[in-house]
C-alpha cells in the first residue's frame, strides 16, 4: 500500500498537491492551537510576568504598584538570608550529589554482579523514590527526634548522647541532606543499571584475554570507564533535582534554626506567599530561574554527549 | 575451576548480599519505623526500650483516629481525581500538538518546536507567583481548578510524544489517509494505540510528580476538602489528633501506601517509565 501511495502522489497534479499542502497546514495549526494558546497563557506569559514583577514594588492584593528598577535585586544582594539560602543550597547539592551518585553506583554494581534476588533488591531500593516526600519527611522527623527517635536511641545503645538533629544549627542541613540521599539513590541506581546493561560483553571477554579477569580489574578497566557518560548524566540530573529541594525543608525545619537549613525554594516560598512580598519574591524567582536554566542547559549538553558515545 | 576460585566466588556472593542488605535496610528503615509506630499505643512509643512489634497492639485504634480525625480517604480520592484530570487534559492538549510537530508540514512548525524546547527549561516553581495571581483574578484559588489548571500544558509531554511519533513510519500514516481517515482520526485511532509505551511512561511521570507534589498545593489550596495527599498529611500533623505519633504515623502510612502498592504491582512499568522520562 505504501508503494501505491508513492505512485499515487507522484501522479497527482501540482494544483492538487498545493491544495493538499494547504489542507495539511490547516490541520497542523488546528492541532497545535490549544497547546500554543496554553503555552502562551500558562508558561511564556507568566515567565514574562515574573520578570516584570521583579522590577516593581507590587504586593499581592495591592491595587497599585510602581516600577522600582533594580531595587529588588539590590535588596536581594544585601539580604543575608538570601545568601545563606544560596550557600546552603550549594552545600546541600555538594553533599547530596556525591552521596546519591556513590551509593547509587555501588548498589547498581552489587545488584548487577549476580542474578540472586536482583528484582527484590531493585524494588526495595526504589521504594523511597516512589514515596510521598512530605509524608516521609514527617516520618524522618520522628526518627530524628532527640529522645524517642530511632537515631538517638541507636546512638544511646553505644553509650553516645545524640543531639537534636533538626534543631541544631550544625546538623539541620546535614540531616535534610541525608533524607535527600535516602530518597534519590534508588533512582541513580536504576540509571546506572541501565548503563551497565549497555556495556558489551565482548569488552569483558577481551579484558579477560588480556589477563584482567579479577573483580576489581574488570571494574577498573572496563566497567567504570564505560559508565563515564552515564555517570556524568546522573551527576547533572541529581544536582538539578537537589537544587530544587523544598519539601523536606518546609516540613521539618522551615529553614531554621536561624537560617541554618534555609534553601532557595523555601526562601522563594516564604517571601512570595508567607510575607506576600511579590516584587521581592519575583526577583528571587528570576535569580532561581537563571540558575536552573544554566543547570538544565548543562544537562542537555551531557545528554548529547551521551548519545555520541552510545 | 580450582577450589580456591570456587571458594572466593562463594565469598563474593555472600559479601554482595551482606552489603545489599545494609543498603536495603537504609532504604526500608523509615517505612518499617513508620508502620511500627503506627501500631503502638502512646506509652510504648515513649518507652526507653524499643521493640519493632508492639507489646499491646494499638493499630486498629491508631488507624481509626487517622481516618476519622482527618479526611484521609478524601485526600487520596482528591489525589486520584487531580492526577487523573491533569493527565487526561495533558493528553488531549499535547497529543495533537506532538503529532502535528512530528508528522505534518506547516509554516511556523520549527519555531513552535523551538518554543517547546525553551519551555522545557522553565522550572514550574518559577511560575508560582503569576499562576497564583491568575487564579486569584479568576476567583479560582482553593478549588480543584487551582490544582489542575497550571499543569494542563506540558512542554515536556509535547517533546516526549513528538520524539516518539517521529519513530512511527510515515507509510502507516499515508496508508491510513488512503483508507480515508482524517488527521484527527489518525491521531486518536492509530498514533495513540501505537505509542502506548510512550504514553505509559509519560503517564507515570505525570502522576508520580503530581501525587507527590507539595509546593503547588501548599500555595493554591487551604481547605481540607480539596487537599491532595502530600498536603493532607501536613494538615493532619498540625491538627490536634496529629500531635499523637501513633495516629500520625498511621496517617503517613495511608498517604504513602497507594503509590507504593501501585509500584510493587507494576515495577518494570514504573522503573522504565521514570528512567526513560529522566533521560528524555
List all residues 6 or more positions away from A53 whose beta carbon is below 8 Å from its beta carbon.
Answer: A278, A279, A282, B129, B130
pLDDT score for A1: 44
pLDDT score for A9: 53
Domain shared by A40 and A150, yes or no? no
Distance CA(B279)–CA(A299), nearest Å, equals 10
pLDDT score for B266: 84
**pLDDT mean over B239-243:** 72
* CB of A262 closer than 8 Å to CB of A81: yes
Q: Which CATH superfamily is domain B70-239 in?
A: MetI-like (1.10.3720.10)
Indicate yes or no: CB of B214 within 8 angstroms of CB of A133. Answer: yes
Distance CA(A89)–CA(A257), nearest Å, equals 15
pLDDT score for A166: 87
Indicate yes or no: CB of A190 within 8 angstroms of CB of B274. Answer: yes
What domain range is A200 assigned to?
73-309
Cell of A207: 579484558
User: How far, in Å, are A117, A151, A178, A271, B57 from residue B41 at the CA level?
Assistant: 36, 20, 29, 40, 7
Distance CA(B163)–CA(B156), nearest Å, equals 11
**B79 confidence band (pLDDT: 50, 70, 90):** very high
Q: Does B213 have pLDDT greater than 90?
A: yes
Region of B223 please: left (phi>0), alpha (psi -120 to 50) or beta: beta
Domain shared by A33 and A168, yes or no? no
Domain shared by A142 and A237, yes or no? yes
- Answer whether residue A58 is part of any domain: no
A119 touches chain B (CB under 8 A): yes
Axis crossing angle, helix A172-197 with helix B267-279, rounded to the nearest 10: 100
Best residue in A21, A55, A132, A194 to probe B by mutation, most B CBs within 10 Å?
A132
Residues of A in contact with B211 (CB under 8 A): 132
Residues of A in contact with B273 (CB under 8 A): none
Percent of chain B with pLDDT over 70: 98
**pLDDT mean over B63-78:** 90
Q: How far is CA B10 from the centre of its chain?
A: 40
Domain shared by A10 and A92, yes or no? no
Distance CA(B176)–CA(B193), nearest Å, equals 14
Tens-place pLDDT, residues B105-157: 888 899 999 999 999 889 999 999 999 999 999 999 999 999 999 999 999 99
- Answer whether residue A61 is part of any domain: no
Rg (CA), chain B: 24
- The total domain count for chain A is 2
Domain shared by A14 and A143, yes or no? no
Task: Find, among A189, A177, A183, the residue nearest to A106 by Cα.
Answer: A189
Domain shared by A302 and A161, yes or no? yes
**pLDDT mean over B8-31:** 90
A121 touches chain B (CB under 8 A): yes
Residue B84 sits at the vertex; the CA angle it makes with B64 and B129, to the nearest 5 degrees, is 95
pLDDT in tens, chain A (310 residues): 445 555 455 555 667 777 778 888 888 899 999 999 999 999 999 999 999 999 998 888 777 888 888 888 998 899 999 999 999 999 999 999 999 999 999 999 999 888 888 889 999 999 999 999 999 999 999 999 888 888 888 888 888 888 888 888 889 999 999 999 999 999 999 999 988 888 887 887 888 777 766 777 777 777 888 888 888 888 888 988 899 999 999 999 988 788 999 999 999 999 889 888 888 999 999 999 998 888 878 777 766 665 444 3
Domain shared by A11 and A85, yes or no? no
Distance CA(B35)–CA(B63), nearest Å, equals 11
* φ and ψ of B252, to 5 deg: -60, -40
Interface of A with B in 30-89 (CB under 8 A): 30-32, 34-36, 38-39, 42-47, 49-50, 53, 60
Query: For B153, which of A5, A39, A293 is closest by C-beta distance?
Result: A39
User: How far, in Å, are A169, A214, B229, B267 from residue B280 at the CA level?
Assistant: 39, 36, 28, 20
Domain shared by A134 and A49, yes or no? no
Domain ranges of chain B: 3-65, 70-239
Name the residue with cell 526500608.
B28
pLDDT-wise least confident of B111-115, B198-202, B272-276: B272-276
- Answer whether residue A143 is part of any domain: yes
Q: B227-255 b/e with 16+ CB inside 10 Å = b? A: bbbbbbbbbbbeeebbebbbbbbbbbbbb
DSSP run (H or E) holding B276: helix B267-279
Domain shared by A93 and A198, yes or no? yes
B5 touches chain A (CB under 8 A): no
- Answer whether residue A63 is part of any domain: no
Indicate yes or no: CB of A135 within 8 angstroms of CB of B230. Answer: yes
- Answer whether residue A62 is part of any domain: no
pLDDT score for B81: 96
* CATH assignment at residue A179: 1.10.3720.10
**B227 confidence band (pLDDT: 50, 70, 90):** very high
- Answer whether residue A94 is part of any domain: yes
Domain shared by A48 and A101, yes or no? no
DSSP for chain A reads -HHHHHHHHHHS-HHHHHHHHHHHHHHHHHHHHHHHHHHIIIIIHHHHHHHHHTTB---TT-S---B-TTHHHHHHHT-HHHHHHHHHHHHHHHHHHHHHHHHHHHHHHHHHHS-TTHHHHHHHHHHHHHS-HHHHHHHHHHHT-TTT-HHHHHHHHTT-----TTTSTTTHHHHHHHHHHHHHHHHHHHHHHHHHHTS-HHHHHHHHHTT--SHHHHIIIIIHHHTHHHHHHHHHHHHHHHHT--HHHHHHTTT-STTTT--HHHHHHIIIIIS--HHHHHHHHHHHHHHHHHHHHHHHHHHHHHHHH-
Tens-place pLDDT, residues B151-192: 999 999 999 999 999 988 888 888 988 888 888 888 888 888
pTM of the predicted structure, to 2 decimals: 0.88
**What DSSP character marks residue B188?**
I
Query: For A2, which of B158, B171, B280 is closest by C-beta distance?
Result: B171
Q: How far is B119 from chain A (nearest CA, A)?
A: 7
Domain shared by A225 and A80, yes or no? yes
pLDDT score for B261: 93
Q: How far is B278 from chain A (nearest CA, A)?
A: 8
Cell of B35: 508502620
Interface of A with B in 224-253 (CB under 8 A): 233, 237, 244, 246-247, 250-251
Amino acid at each position: 500500500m505504501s508503494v501505491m501511495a508513492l505512485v499515487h502522489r507522484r501522479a497527482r497534479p501540482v494544483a492538487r498537491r498545493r491544495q493538499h499542502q494547504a489542507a495539511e497546514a490547516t490541520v497542523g495549526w488546528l492541532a497545535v492551537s490549544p497547546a500554543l494558546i496554553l503555552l502562551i497563557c500558562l508558561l511564556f506569559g507568566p515567565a514574562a510576568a515574573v520578570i516584570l514583577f521583579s522590577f516593581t514594588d507590587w504586593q499581592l492584593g495591592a491595587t497599585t504598584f510602581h516600577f522600582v528598577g533594580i531595587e529588588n535585586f539590590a535588596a536581594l544582594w544585601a539580604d543575608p538570608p538570601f545568601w545563606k539560602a544560596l550557600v546552603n543550597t550549594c552545600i546541600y547539592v555538594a553533599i547530596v550529589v556525591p552521596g546519591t551518585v556513590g551509593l547509587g553506583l555501588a548498589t547498581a554494581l552489587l545488584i548487577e554482579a549476580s542474578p540472586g534476588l536482583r528484582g527484590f533488591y531493585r524494588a526495595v531500593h526504589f521504594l523511597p523514590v516512589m514515596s510521598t516526600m512530605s509524608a516521609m519527611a514527617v516520618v524522618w522527623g520522628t526518627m530524628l527526634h532527640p529522645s524517642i527517635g530511632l537515631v538517638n536511641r541507636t546512638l544511646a545503645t553505644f553509650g553516645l548522647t545524640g543531639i537534636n538533629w533538626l534543631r541544631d544549627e550544625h546538623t539541620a542541613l546535614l540531616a535534610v541532606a541525608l533524607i535527600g540521599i535516602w530518597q534519590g539513590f534508588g533512582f541513580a541506581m536504576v540509571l546506572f543499571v541501565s548503563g551497565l546493561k549497555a556495556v558489551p560483553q565482548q569488552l569483558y571477554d577481551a579484558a579477560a584475554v588480556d589477563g584482567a579477569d579479577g573483580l576489581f580489574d574488570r571494574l577498573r578497566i572496563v566497567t567504570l570507564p564505560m559508565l563515564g557518560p552515564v555517570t556524568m548524566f546522573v551527576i547533572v540530573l541529581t544536582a538539578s533535582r537537589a537544587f530544587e529541594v523544598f519539601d523536606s525543608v518546609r516540613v521539618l525545619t522551615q529553614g531554621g534554626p536561624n537560617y541554618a537549613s534555609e534553601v532557595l525554594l523555601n526562601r522563594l516560598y516564604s517571601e512570595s506567599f508567607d510575607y506576600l512580598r511579590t516584587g521581592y519574591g519575583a526577583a528571587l524567582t528570576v535569580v532561581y530561574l537563571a540558575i536552573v536554566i544554566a543547570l538544565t542547559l548543562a544537562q542537555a549538553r551531557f545528554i548529547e554527549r551521551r548519545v555520541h558515545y552510545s | 575451576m580450582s577450589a580456591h576460585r570456587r571458594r572466593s566466588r562463594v565469598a563474593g556472593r555472600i559479601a554482595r548480599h551482606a552489603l545489599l542488605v545494609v543498603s536495603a535496610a537504609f532504604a526500608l528503615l523509615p517505612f518499617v519505623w513508620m508502620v511500627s509506630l503506627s501500631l503502638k499505643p502512646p506509652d510504648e512509643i515513649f518507652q526507653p526500650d524499643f521493640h519493632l512489634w508492639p507489646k499491646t497492639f494499638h493499630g486498629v485504634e491508631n488507624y481509626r483516629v487517622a481516618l476519622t480525625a482527618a479526611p484521609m480517604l478524601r485526600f487520596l480520592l482528591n489525589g486520584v481525581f487531580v492526577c487523573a484530570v491533569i493527565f487526561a487534559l495533558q493528553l488531549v492538549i499535547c497529543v495533537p500538538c506532538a503529532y502535528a510537530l512530528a508528522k505534518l508540514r506547516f509554516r511556523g512548525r520549527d519555531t513552535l518546536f523551538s518554543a517547546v524546547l525553551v519551555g522545557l527549561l522553565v522550572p514550574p516553581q518559577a511560575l508560582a507567583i503569576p499562576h497564583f495571581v491568575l487564579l486569584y483574578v479568576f476567583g479560582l484559588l482553593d478549588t480543584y481548578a487551582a490544582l489542575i489548571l497550571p499543569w494542563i500544558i506540558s512542554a515536556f509531554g509535547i517533546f516526549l510524544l513528538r520524539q516518539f511519533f517521529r519513530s512511527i513510519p510515515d507509510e502507516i500514516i499515508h496508508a491510513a489517509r488512503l483508507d480515508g481517515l482524517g488527521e484527527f482520526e489518525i491521531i486518536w485511532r492509530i498514533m495513540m494505540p501505537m505509542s502506548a509505551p510512550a504514553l505509559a511512561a509519560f503517564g507515570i511521570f505525570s502522576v508520580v510528580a503530581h501525587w507527590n507534589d507539595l509546593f503547588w498545593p501548599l500555595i493554591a489550596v487551604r481547605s481540607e476538602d480539596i487537599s491532595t495527599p502530600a498536603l493532607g498529611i501536613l494538615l493532619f500533623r498540625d491538627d490536634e489528633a496529629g500531635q499523637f505519633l501513633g495516629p500520625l504515623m498511621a496517617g503517613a502510612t495511608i498517604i504513602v501506601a497507594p503509590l507504593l502498592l501501585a509500584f510493587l504491582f507494576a515495577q518494570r512499568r514504573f522503573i522504565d517509565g521514570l528512567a526513560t522520562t529522566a533521560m528524555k
